[in-house]
Amino acid sequence: MKSMACYNMKGGVGKTSFAVNFAYLSAANGVRTMVWDLDPQGAATFHLGVEPLEQTKLKKLIKDKKLIKNMVEPTPYANLSVIPAGFDYRNMDMVLDDSKKSRKKLKKIISSFEENYDLFLFDCPPSISNLSEVIFSTVEYILMPVVPAVMPQQSFLKVKEYLSSMNETCAELIPFFNMVDRRKSGHRKIMWDNKKEFKNYFCENFIPARADVEKMGIERAPLHAFAAKSSAAVAYKDLWKEITKKTGLISEKLTAQIAQ
């Protein structure tokens, strides 16, 4: 089972939209997928058609593997389940007061899903905190959407530097550009500068800024469930294929079949 986190310390960069669409595409291609929505806003939970938790009992949740399995909810889509968000998640940092013990507990929680799932994906809140540090040292890959603008670029550099300074992290950062408007010279410049400075670091594929992505909230569904032929949906699938190849999420043989 692969473990990943969709993360950015900055909000408003399309993190949850990507997490939902990435999870949907994985599930649609036979990957048994679990999403844990850790954002107290519960956007991923909402987009996957599931109701948020009213009460979470955070302290027991982190300690009790059986309790968290009882929280799992099916979505309307085959192979795709979610552990819903709850507003109590805003207090998660206070519960994770001992990061070393928390890492062990979180790893045990993830490993308890190995028998029934192929992908465990965290949708993380936009902050850098004890929670994010525990996630960084627990998962294999961090998928990071970056809007090609000045402040999101600064956030990317800070996170990259922070991860490099963490001795215990084993996660590989996979950044990609999101909400791209090629009409803006600033977007084009930042993408070009990054390509020169960080060769082969950013994904080749990117997600354009499109109104169809914003409609996910109205439809309360992943993009491919209602606009599968849109340019944004095609871009998401191309990026999904690229990340799948980078992470070995599915076999090379299946990747080739999907490409056809």
How far apart, in whole angstroms, are the C-alpha atoms of residue 76 and residue 54? 21
pLDDT at site 59: 66
Q: Is 49 left (phi over 0), alpha (psi -120 to 50) or beta?
A: left
Give this prediction's pTM.
0.91
Distances (CA, A) of 174 to 5, 127, 217, 235: 10, 18, 26, 17
Domains in the chain with CATH codes: 2-253 (3.40.50.300)
Per-residue confidence band for 251, with pLDDT thresholds at 50, 70 and 90: low
How far apart, in whole angstroms, are the C-alpha atoms of residue 209 and residue 2? 29
Q: Is 77 left (phi over 0), alpha (psi -120 to 50) or beta?
A: beta
In tens, the pLDDT along 148-186 reads 999 988 999 999 998 888 766 678 999 999 999 999 999
pLDDT at site 218: 94
Measured from the Cβ of residue 135, the count of other Cβ atoms closer than 10 Å reads: 24
> Does pLDDT of 250 surpass 60?
yes
**Beta partners for residue 177, in sequence order:** 146
pLDDT at site 18: 97
In tens, the pLDDT along 190-200 reads 999 988 888 88
DSSP string, 112-141: TTTTT-SEEEEE--SS-SHHHHHHHTT-SE
What integer is the mean pLDDT of 191-215?
Answer: 92
Enumerate residues 6+ apart whose C-beta is below 8 A from 233: 212, 223, 224, 227
In tens, the pLDDT along 99-117 reads 567 777 788 888 989 999 9
What integer is the mean pLDDT of 241-245?
Answer: 96
pLDDT at site 253: 44
What integer is the mean pLDDT of 113-132?
Answer: 91
> Does pLDDT of 83 surpass 60?
yes
> Does pLDDT of 36 surpass 90?
yes
CA nearest neighbour of 49 among 204, 218, 206, 198: 218
What integer is the mean pLDDT of 79-95?
Answer: 84
> Does pLDDT of 61 surpass 80?
no
The order of strands in the sheet holding 2-6 is: 73-74, 80-83, 33-37, 119-123, 2-6, 141-146, 172-177
Contact 71, 84 (CB under 8 A): yes
> Does pLDDT of 248 surpass 80?
yes
Buried b (16+ CB within 10 A) or exposed e, 60-96: ebbeebeebeeeeeebebebbbbbbbbebbeebbebb
Q: Return the higher-pLDDT residue of 252 and 67.
A: 67
Max intra-chain CA distance, the chain: 52
